[in-house]
Amino acid sequence: GSQAAADRASPCCHDVPLRPALAGGLLSLEGMGLVSVAGFQGAGDQPLFGSLLVCSHWR
């Protein structure tokens, strides 16, 4: 019915490449870890922003 058509119309769940999605998850984990270790110093800000960009892009 309409649900199948809606699923086909929204590629965000089915057509996301696995490798970039995994890379985004790893980047976000690394970013959070570096930020927590660095205490939001210069070394931690860039991984955080990078992970936010990746997450927003693949959402």
Domain presence at residue 31? yes
Report how many domains make up the chain.
Answer: 1
Q: What is the pLDDT of residue 34?
A: 62
- At residue 19, the pLDDT reads 77
Average pLDDT, the chain: 63
User: What pLDDT is stored for residue 37 in this prediction?
Assistant: 60
Please give the residue range of the domain that contains residue 27: 17-58
- Each residue of 25-49: pLDDT tens digit? 777 777 666 666 655 555 445 666 6
pLDDT at res. 11: 53
Q: Where are the alpha helices (DSSP H) in 1-59?
A: 2-9, 11-14, 18-38, 42-58
Residue 44 falls inside a structural domain: yes
In-domain check, residue 37: yes
With respect to residue 11, please indicate whether it lies within any of the assigned structural domains: no
What pTM did the predictor assign? 0.27
Q: In the prediction, which pLDDT does 44 show? A: 47
Question: What would you report as the CA-atom Rg of the chain, rounded to the nearest whole angstrom?
Answer: 16
